[in-house]
Structure 1
């Protein structure tokens, strides 16, 4: 659950061009790409088989 402090921190970071959204899969042609290690996976992947990353 987000609090007022989280909102203030997100605004502070956003003003300085930092990403405040939860990371998710990136797309590389017809594959999903892990934002952590860059591993490529099929579109049905739910976790990275290279580093174990999962979207939250």
Structure 2
């Protein structure tokens, strides 16, 4: 499942980003990833590309 996979990436040291509920069509996977503690940032979709560039 995507939420568990993102948590594993997070735990391995990856910088993880989930889409904010305000711009997400279906918030199920992001919500679960956030609940599991596998997300560093929660952002609206339009801010995700900039965050990726800054994290790299």
> TM over 0.5, yes or no?
no
TM-score of the pair, normalised by structure 2: 0.31
**Which structure ranks higher in relative contact order (CA pairs < 8 Å, sequence separation ≥ 6)?**
2
TM-score of the pair, normalised by structure 1: 0.31
Instruction: From the two aligned structures, give the one with the greater helix fraction.
Output: 2
When Rg is computed on C-alpha atoms for both structures, the one with the higher figure is 1
